Each structure stands twice: as C-alpha cells, then as structure tokens.
Amino acid sequence: VTSCSYDLDTYAPTYAAHCGTSMSAPTVTGLMALLLEDYREQFPENDDPRNSTLKSLLAHNAVDRGNAGPDYQFGYGSVRIQRTIDFMRTGGFLEGQVFQGQAFTVPVTVVAGTAELKVTLAWDDYPGVPNSTRDLVNDLDLRVYSPSSQRYFPWTLDPHNPASLAVRTQEDHTNNIEQVVVANPAAGVWSIEVYGYDVPM
C-alpha cells in the first residue's frame, strides 16, 4: 500500500468495497501502518498508541455509508486515511483507564455554530471465556452530557434484527467501540465521561 501511486483516500475505499474482505483487510492494515508511522513522527516522546486508539481514530474519521450511523454492512463507514492523519496531528484524542465504578471525565468546549460533536471510544478488551454467553469482559460506557446536563447516548444496533436502523436511545453493553454524535450541539462546556460499568479485569 505504501508504494502505490494512486491516492488512497480516493481509490482504496472503492477498491476494498469491490474486492470484499480479501482486499479490505490488507488495505486497512497498510493504512494503519501509515497512521502509526506518522504518529511516531508527530509524537516521538510517546509510546506507540494502543490498538484501540488506532481503531477509534479510523472509525471517528470514516465516511458514513449505507444507513445513518453504524450498520452490519459498512460498520462505522469507509476509512479515510488523510483526514484520520490530519485529525491525529491535532492531538484531539487521549488514552486513559478506568476501574469498576470509576469515571474518567473530560470537559470539551463547543463554540457557537459548531455543526457536529462526535466522540468515539474504543478499548482493547481481555479475551473472553470459552462458551460464555457474554462477549465483553470489560464493559465501559461513553456518556456525553450537554451544558444543560442532557445526556446523549451512543449508536446501538439490534443484533436480532440486522436490517434495523441504528438508534441512540440507550447504553451499549455489547461492543468495545462506542460513538456519540450530536448535530448542532449547544455552545458551552460539554462533559465527556468514560464510566467503568463492569470492569472485572
């Protein structure tokens, strides 16, 4: 991928879509290598980011495809490496940890006229127990509160009805990636919270 002469942002998503997972996996792997290489140049004093950080950066900057929000056909959308790297260079992301019942909170100031507030959380989970009825080991909650304390929920899907649209009406206790999107957010200080809902490890 690094030696290709075409624009990855223009051609890679289409190329992967036409070739299926056989080409999507190596394409995204190559894009991750480019992202990691640039990260090391931009933040030489830092350790390499977690796998989940790279995953959240790609999902956060993907172009939505299909139904609004995530879906079972396109996931969080079609990756765009140039805008992902541009976003990463701003430093508008962080890594942290929470334990059972604890919250990691970050205030975010939204200025008037902002078109969208998007917050994406991902974490590297521990391996599950064989034959368990639950997929997640650690369950974190992304909680986003407006200046008036109104809570906004992440996208969730119904695994029993894959064709149904994603909704934003409840917490997500199924996945290790969550995303909250607020259109035309109110100006002021928002509270972004990662809560340790169930953290045995």
Per-residue pLDDT averaged across 29-46, rounded? 96
> Quick one: pLDDT at residue 95?
95
Per-residue pLDDT averaged across 99-126, rounded? 97
Q: Rounded to whole angstroms, how far apart are CA atoms 61 and 78?
A: 9
**Whether residue 10 has pLDDT greater than 90:** no
Per-residue pLDDT averaged across 102-122, rounded? 97
Per-residue pLDDT averaged across 165-187, rounded? 97
**Whether residue 17 has pLDDT greater than 70:** no
Q: Where are the alpha helices (DSSP H) in the chain?
A: 8-19, 21-42, 51-60, 81-90
> Quick one: pLDDT at residue 135?
85
Mean pLDDT of the chain: 90
Pairing of strands 188-198, 177-183: unpaired
Pairing of strands 177-183, 116-122: antiparallel
> Quick one: pLDDT at residue 20?
66
DSSP string, 42-98: H-TTSPPPPHHHHHHHHHHTPBP-SSSS-BTTTBT-B--HHHHHHHHHHT-------
> Quick one: pLDDT at residue 13?
47
**Whether residue 18 has pLDDT greater than 70:** no
22: left (phi over 0), alpha (psi -120 to 50) or beta: alpha
- What percent of the chain is predicted at pLDDT more than 90? 82
- Specify which of 2-6, 8-12, 108-112 reaches the highest per-range mean pLDDT: 108-112
